[in-house]
Amino acid sequence: MNKKIAFPLMLVISILITSLFFLISFRQNQVLVSKVTDEFLEQVIEELGAMVNGVKNELLQSNIRAARNQLARLSSGKDIISYEIEQSAPPKHTQLKVANGQSGFDIMIPVTFSDDGIAWGTVNFKISNKKLVTLAEELNRNLLKTSVFLWLFLMIVLFGLYSFIVYSSGQLNSHMRKSFMSDKPQVLKGSTYKLFTPLVESIYRTGNELSLKRSEVENLKNQEQLFKLSKRISHDIRSPIGALNVMIQSSKNLSADEKKFLQKTANRINEVADSVLQDSGPQHLQTLSAPEIISIIESIVDEKRVLGHPISISSAQIPIGTFATSSVGLKNILSNLLNNAYEAGSQGSPIFVRAIGEAHGIFISVEDKGMGMDQELIQKVLKGDFSTKQGGYGIGLSSSKNIVESWGGDLSVTSQPGQGTTVKIYLRQKT
């Protein structure tokens, strides 16, 4: 039989059986008390009535009638009382006599009377609890039987409760193990387990948080190693660039414009080296104004135009405010986007750069008229899993998105095959 059905069925049967024994014992006690009470009261009332008819003394008759009426009233409440009537010589004085015995106590109340002026005797009304003791003994025997059934009932209930707790804890333990081994918390079915569902979900969340913390620690270790490698690469890049700067300044075969362009290119290489460190190390944000951001956009566009990229730039509704970003990081991202746009289109294909302000930030878009991408390819590129460049993996665009999001902004891609691609950067204004 199923455990879920066996336990409730066993509990219901035990309750019914115990309740039946309780009812039987209670009924036996009730019948016993009623029987003894009726016998006592009927006998007392009958004999007191006969006694009234047998005496002529009005005072005694009045006393006996009062006692009889009192007992008649008691009979309606089923109170228990016994009596004895004794005739004896008149006592010297009225007295209250109490006799103690093993079975109880007696209270004797003597009443002296005379019949037609002749002293006739004394009637002793004796109120005794001897039969009450007998009744109590019978009740004790019945209560003993009842207590046995009561203990049996309690043992069954405690055993059932113990079995229920063991079964429930086993089920809960099983669900908790499954929750730790699965990707989502297990749902506890049944009303009994609803109380434990928040506990299991809390344990599941704690386990996930611990797993994430462990991943973060591992990522920090990897980032530290990457930062050391990037630092060495950056140093290796700067060394020849420093020598190139010296050669540019000392060269006599270059015009001033050529020196300026080469110097600017060398500076960009240094900035790329800085960005390698920035991408692999902790981010150091700057507070830039909208005009400073426009100036950065224009400088990158000018640099690409010198290389032969046909780029047009426009701006509108530039907001008044500041932005938490990085000038070096923004330059690298824009340079990467313009390179992608140039390589995606045919020779001489136009590229459009726009900066448009809105209520709480600024949009910077780079649009080309190249071959375009479908939605599946866009998702792969943003994840760094694909690149249209030979030998590339789309890491540039994916890395750019991560950096912009770390500034509190967003990077999105809109594209259709054969209709070009637009990449939008949203920088959120500081509050």
pLDDT of 347 reads 72
Question: Cβ atoms within 10 A of the Cβ of 68, count?
Answer: 18
- What are the extents of the domains in the chain? 3-153, 191-229, 283-428
Q: Quote the CA–CA distance of 234 and 217 in Å, as a whole number.
A: 25
- Classify 392 as helix, strand or coil: coil
More confident residue, 201 or 380: 380
Average pLDDT (241-260) is 72
The closest alpha carbon to 10, from 153, 193, 151, 148, belongs to 153
Confidence of residue 304 (pLDDT cuts 50, 70, 90): confident
- For tokens 């900066």, the residue is 355
Across the range 271-298, mean pLDDT stands at 74
Task: Tell me the whole-structure pTM to 2 decimals.
Answer: 0.41
Tokens of 397: 């665009």
- 108 pairs with which residues across the strands? 97, 126
- Greatest CA separation for the chain: 171
Task: Assign 320 to helix, strand or coil.
Answer: coil
Q: What is the dihedral of CA 218, 224, 225, 230, to 10 degrees?
A: 140
Cβ proximity of 41 and 25 under 8 Å: no
CATH number of 283-428: 3.30.565.10
Chain-centroid distance of CA 29 in Å reads 53
Tokens of 327: 């000038």
Contact 112, 91 (CB under 8 A): yes
Output Rg (C-alpha) for the chain, integer angstroms.
53
CA distance to 54, 68, 87, 206, per residue, from 62 (Å): 13, 10, 18, 90
- Grade residue 395 by pLDDT with cuts at 50, 70 and 90: very low
The residue behind tokens 């080469």 is: 262
Instruction: Considering only residues 417 and 9, tell me which one the structure prediction assigns the higher pLDDT.
Output: 417
